[in-house]
Structure 1
């Protein structure tokens, strides 16, 4: 798959590759700003001249920008495409690889809506080049409705049922399984647990139906657009029983950190937590969890990030500091951001992300500037897989850059050493890859992912945090023996795993698989 898009149902459900084109020409000059303009202003000076001319201007006030009036004016989709083309030539990491495309092809009539046409045009402007393994360098740039992005990134609020589903087979006969549910959500109240298989959605056969109408129904049920929708799921529970459940979508607050617990082993006390997303609300939860571990005197830590697609890089930096401590991280670089040659941010002090020893003010529950707890560990175990992406990989890379051993258990990570600043225009936010990230030693070559030290298939027969769950059992075995080992738990789990060729793909928004940076403005 080239990339996932919020606009196309078939892309997420069938994981088919999208078609692509290119752009109608080059970028623009600095837009007339003088040398006193900030680097941040210079970054988008050319495209700023075309900002806010919208095919469908918004009215009223923006609740995520101090309730100020929306800046939209009447324009056209051609104005929005002109803005996008100019913006891409300014900030896109591979702006020297943008192909030619005919902007006039990307119309609402051809794609069904203005946002869908703009999403397709963004895709057309991305590099067609591939990595050494044949994977597209940019499988990630996408668009997303701005109001939904603000709600998710700032408040951790998204529409759903409180369950995460992974696709094990993408073409009929398809296979999908629930990998976790969140406490207090509709899925949890219906008794849906890890390991439940999805058989049908709203009467459409999940396993075999491959019609356009069927795929649209499956997509609408799995990804409800609004709160209050009710959809019927046919599930096979872990015990083999088949049942129908009705789930009503809600605006749910994400809980990024869960299952904070400790295990006593002959080799010492181990802390364990499930870390699912680097959202703003994770800042306080992580600080509280690691304070608990510090006070408990743990000697090893297991970070379960197998389903963590990323989020704010600065949250990853805070967690890396809490793991490594002041002595190892002081004066070192967590991530050095590398931009295209013409991006003014390449000259900015903001291009270096330090190890944050204090809270950065993401989470209102934690005062900004508060000293973070330190575990001062020389080793951390990371439970990982294809769902471990972007900011989560930056955490692994950043720790390794200062000599902290990051032992990876599970599968190969997604391979995304890239990130961006979200850029909004006319109610649509653009997430075009703007930078790559290197650690303190200058290493950034993981576009094909980090390979695990212990390759273990995901164990859907046990709940996360169960010491008999295969990945956690392997980590505990390594902590005691120094090897991957073949504990009774891993042997039992292997007996119920899918074939090794089936690599699970989490069915989630592309917002969950990225590294974001907050605007320095």
Structure 2
């Protein structure tokens, strides 16, 4: 029996149903239809454009245009290079006040560019409501970068783990855009600060290239928002659909709970093969993938996909062709991707197993984490499976809170982690009330062990759960592939320039457990290896891990879960049978093309400790 915790009515809701639109959607007869300008004869009146008489910032920004309309209306943006997107439309279904929220992307073109917002009112011709011009660079932009670069430079010389080596650099590049400052300058240290990032592994399309963890990102009004926009599709795995031909499928790593895609019935493992009637092929799948997952440019998408469903009569999986229409919207972000309990019969007794998949540790969504921990406490699981395969970390405080529920009240005064600063000083965090984060002790789950599924995506605050529990000799069993290996963390500084807020997260401490262990920069090796992360897909138990062609609870596809299940039941896993059943599906879905790189987001990446108010 499955008891699914994540029911939308419990705590999830859509906050805004405005559609996202990017680029141009012109009528076929546009070339012969005159465009009316907003004047006394225009149906669109009382236009309020905050950018009137100004240029759009080189770094991009978000602006809302308001106006009055005599009837329902539609909006579209025309621009070269599709650098403007419509995040939200309100009031479009009736007469009265209307609003269009526009998102302007950073100017990477090296030259100024223009765009126009058009509104079409029922019964009227299309009218141009607002024109925009974006600077390629300029005094305002330079001032932002100069200020932020100077602030970052000052903080790095004081707090960066390799502050002495950084301060000795004589060739710093200060006259660069602020979002390029860190990579251009910190990589000058070479291998000295290799723990601030690393080298992409063999499985990655970026193999051999350097990356860094230290980062800066713009946030909304100095807060970490709990909402996000889009279709709600997680990262995907691209695979050829057949032995011959160029057809491609995008297998979903997950779908955000409460998102438009989830509300439309889509789930992890669904394989998208057609978008708005266009088949995905090797020539177009990357463009469609990026549009669907990063910047939806249509008010609605008809997505055709395959889903493999277990057939109890044959013991195999039947392929079902399905479709869903999904419209982009703003929804409440939830780091809990899946949460259920299962009842297993073991030696005549029922055993309750809880399974929780988690994407990040985000303080902006702490209520959801508290709720799932309380739900676990109410269900009193005998065993807990934590699926961290897509968890790239986040707030240390929330990681500590969840781990305190696992370690239990008996260990509340023991050391969860020590943060070692560049001057050798250490800040101690205990599992329970003694920690400095203010979140307190979570309910004791009464566990004696925990099973953790991890992958190359598992990093930072997620790895702290593993390292912290190992430090007190708690029984932790890991499955999957080698974790990222982020044994360092960031003290987040909030910087303000005018009305704009930025979170600067430089690497400022090493992470130790109670035993003083911190040597996991190369990642934790799993106790039970499913995928070795090399370039071959022919030598793994699960050669598409951490992705899958089935949902979280499908043992035939979620082989990490299957392995844990066998260990709980005292059985030996039969991977040969499992693999053979997968290969009997009619498509060659084990001919992989590419995995998406996980894109870090502010507040959901790293070992983050928040220190200051905006300055």
Fold agreement, TM-score > 0.5: yes
Aligned to 1:123: 183
Decide whether the 8 Å contact of 1:230 with 1:246 is kept in 2: no
For 1:271, what is the secondary structure of its paired residue?
A: strand
Moved more, 466-475 or 230-239: 230-239
Decide whether the 8 Å contact of 1:323 with 1:375 is kept in 2: yes
Decide whether the 8 Å contact of 1:234 with 1:242 is kept in 2: no
For 2:494, what is the secondary structure of its paired residue?
A: strand
Alignment of 1:247-326 (within 5 A): 247-257=326-336, 258-266=338-346, 268-280=351-363, 283-326=366-409
- Shift of the alpha carbon at 1:440? 0.8
The CA distance in 2 between the partners of 1:414 and 1:194, in whole Å, is 23
What's the RMSD between the two structures over aligned residues?
4.2
Aligned to 2:428: 352
Aligned to 2:605: 513
- Shift of the alpha carbon at 1:178? 0.9
The CA distance in 1 between the partners of 2:220 and 2:605, in whole Å, is 18
Pair 1:101–1:402, CA change in 2 (3 A): same
Aligned to 1:471: 560
Give yes or no for the alignment of 1:339 onto 2:425: no
Aligned to 1:85: 153
Q: What runs of 5+ residues in structure 1 fail to find an aligned partner?
A: 1-53, 59-71, 107-116, 363-367
The CA distance in 2 between the partners of 1:148 and 1:162, in whole Å, is 24
Structure with greater strand share of residues: 2
Q: 1:461 aligns with which of 546, 549, 567?
A: 549
The CA distance in 2 between the partners of 1:192 and 1:424, in whole Å, is 37
- Shift of the alpha carbon at 1:400? 0.8
For 1:163, what is the secondary structure of its paired residue?
A: coil
Aligned to 2:259: 185
Alignment of 1:10-159 (within 5 A): 75=143, 77-98=145-166, 99-103=169-173, 106=176, 117-127=177-187, 128-129=190-191, 130=194, 139-147=212-220, 150-152=223-225, 156-159=226-229
Alignment of 1:366-445 (within 5 A): 369=440, 372-425=442-495, 426=497, 427-445=501-519
Aligned to 2:299: 230
- Structure with max Cα Rg: 2
- Shift of the alpha carbon at 1:357? 4.6
- Shift of the alpha carbon at 1:407? 0.8
Instruction: Map Cα deviations across residues 61-115 of structure 1 (whole Å, 9 max, x no partner).
Output: xxxxxxxxxxx99945333322222222222222244355452552xxxxxxxxx
Decide whether the 8 Å contact of 2:352 with 2:383 is kept in 1: yes
Give yes or no for the alignment of 1:449 onto 2:523: yes
The CA distance in 2 between the partners of 1:399 and 1:102, in whole Å, is 41
The CA distance in 2 between the partners of 1:208 and 1:148, in whole Å, is 41
The CA distance in 1 between the partners of 2:165 and 2:591, in whole Å, is 36
Question: What TM-score results when the alignment is normalised by the length of structure 1?
Answer: 0.68
- Shift of the alpha carbon at 1:508? 3.3
- Shift of the alpha carbon at 1:164? 0.6
Q: What runs of 5+ residues in structure 2 fail to find an aligned partner?
A: 1-56, 62-139, 201-208, 240-245, 309-318, 531-541
Pair 1:331–1:482, CA change in 2 (3 A): farther
For 2:504, what is the secondary structure of its paired residue?
A: strand
- Shift of the alpha carbon at 1:266? 0.7
The CA distance in 2 between the partners of 1:413 and 1:331, in whole Å, is 28
Decide whether the 8 Å contact of 2:360 with 2:605 is kept in 1: no
For 1:399, what is the secondary structure of its paired residue?
A: helix
Pair 1:142–1:500, CA change in 2 (3 A): farther
Question: What TM-score results when the alignment is normalised by the length of structure 2?
Answer: 0.59
Pair 1:167–1:145, CA change in 2 (3 A): farther
Structure with greater helix share of residues: 1
